Amino acid sequence: MTPSPFPIIRLRPKAQARAIRHGFPWVYDNELVTDRRSKALTPGTIAQLEDAERTPVALVAVNPKSRIIARVLERDCTARIDADWLRQRLTQALVLRDRLYDAPFYRLVHAEADGLPGVIIDRFGDTAVIQPNAAWAETLLGDLTDAVMAVTGVKNVLKNASGRARVLEGLDDQNAVLRGQAPSAPLPVPMNGATYMADLVGGQKTGLFFDQRPNHAFAAGLSRGARVLDVFSHVGGFSLAALAGGADQAMAVDGSQAALDLATEGAAQMGLGERFSTRKGDAFEALAQLAEEGAQFDVVICDPPAFAPSKKAVEAGLRAYERVARMAAALVADGGYLGLCSCSHAVDLARFRGASVRGIGRAGRQAQLIHTGFAGPDHPLHPQLAESGYLKALFFRLR
C-alpha cells in the first residue's frame, strides 16, 4: 500500500468508524487517539483518518482546538484537497441553486450538506459572502475565494467572521474584502415579490436570511387584506412578504433601528411605504405594550434569534419559546393566524411544537396547526446531522 501523503490520525477502538463510512461528517475529540503528535497538528491540517485496525476511513480536516476535532472532507483517501476539488464541490452546489432559482440570490453553500464542512456562502448577485467557520476553510480561504469566482462569475467576495462557530474553532472575528470591493450601500434583494435591503458589510450574519424564503411565502398567502405583526423582524422578513401578498397594514418590531431602517427602505422600494410601520424595542416589552393598547392583528409572526444555541440552554430556550407563544397569541384576532419560528438546532421540532402549544393554551386560545415549515432547499439537510435542519416554523389558526 502506498503511504498516505497526509498525516495519520486514528479512531479509538470503541469509536464508530461505521457511522463515518455511512456518512456521518464529524469526529469528536473523545473518539480520537490524541497523542503529542496529533495535538501538535496545526488547525486546518488535512489528515487521513484510520479506524482502530489502521484501515483508511476518510480524509478529514483536523482542529485540535475544537470539540469537533475532525470534519470529513472526502471518503476517497486517494483524493487531493486542492483548488480543483473545491471547484468541483462548488459546481455541484451551483447546479442545484440554478435549478431552484431564476435570480442569483440564495445560499450557495450550506456547510456539511454541500460537502464543504463549516463553510457558509450566500450569494447576492455579483457579490458572494463567505463565512469560513472551520479552520480548514480559513487555511484554504484564498483557493476557496478563487474557486467561488471561477464557478459563479461573481465579481466581489467578502469574508464575514461573525458568529459563535468561529469562536469555537479558535478563529478571529475580522471581516474582510477578499476580492473586488464591498457594496457602498445596501443591496436590494428580490424574494417572493418583496424587496429586501441587505447590508453585506454592517448587517447581521451575511446581510440577509435566505432560509425563511418558503415560510415568508406561506405567510404572504395568509396576509391578503390582513393586519400583520412581524416580531423580531430583522429587515422586515415576514412583514414585507405580507405586504407583497396584499396585506392592508404591516408592523415590524425589532431591537435594531438599523434593521428597521432597512425594512422601511424595502417597503418604500416596493411602493408600499404607507402601509408599513415599525416599532423599535425589546420584543417582549413590545408584545406587552401592544396587549395593553388592545391591539389586534389578523396575522402575528414571531421569528426570534436562537433561544437555545446549545444543549445546555434547551430548558431556558423552551421557556422563552412558550412565553413568546403566550404573549403573541393574545394579539391574534379570532380566526386569525399565528406563526412561530425557531432557529435553535438544539431544540427539535417536537419540543418546539410542545412549547408553542403550551404557550397558546396559557393564553386561553384554541388552535389548529395548519402548516409546518423548514428552511428552503438552498439550505439542504445533511441526513445524518440534525444540526443542519435547525429551522422550524409552525403556523396556527386561533380561536
pLDDT at 341: 98
What confidence tens digit (pLDDT) does each residue in 39-64 have?
999 999 999 999 999 999 999 999 99
Whether 141 and 160 have beta carbons less than 8 Å apart is answered as no
- Domain edges within the chain: 8-74, 83-179, 187-398
What gap in Å lies between CA 162 and CA 397, rounded to an integer? 37
Known active-site residue 341: no
Mean pLDDT of 277-305: 98
pTM, entire model = 0.95
pLDDT at 164: 83
**Among the four given CATH numbers 2.70.150.10, 1.10.540.10, 3.40.50.720, 2.30.130.10, the one describing domain 8-74:** 2.30.130.10
Q: What percent of the chain has pLDDT over 70?
A: 99
Options 77, 302, 341, 343, the catalytic residue: 343
Q: What order of strands is seen across the sheet that includes strand 156-159?
A: 105-110, 119-124, 127-132, 156-159, 176-179
pLDDT at 111: 96
Fold of the domain built from segment(s) 83-179: Transcription Regulator spoIIAA (3.30.750)
What gap in Å lies between CA 314 and CA 318, rounded to an integer? 6
Of 7-16, 86-95, 247-256, 324-333, minimum mean pLDDT range:
7-16
Banded model confidence at residue 350, pLDDT cuts 50, 70, 90? very high
Q: For the chain, give the number of residues.
A: 399
Whose CA is closest to 229, among 154, 329, 104?
A: 329
What gap in Å lies between CA 51 and CA 305, rounded to an integer? 39
What confidence tens digit (pLDDT) does each residue in 99-150 have?
999 999 999 999 999 999 999 999 999 999 999 999 999 999 999 999 999 9
For residue 2, is pLDDT > 80? Answer: no
CB atoms within 10 A of CB 103: 10
- Do 8-74 and 187-398 fold alike per CATH? no
Whose CA is closest to 191, among 171, 167, 169, 215?
A: 215
Q: Which amino acid is at 158?
A: L
For domain 187-398, give the CATH number.
3.40.50.150
Banded model confidence at residue 203, pLDDT cuts 50, 70, 90? confident
- Which cell numbers hold the place of 71? 470534519
Q: What percent of the chain has pLDDT over 90?
A: 90
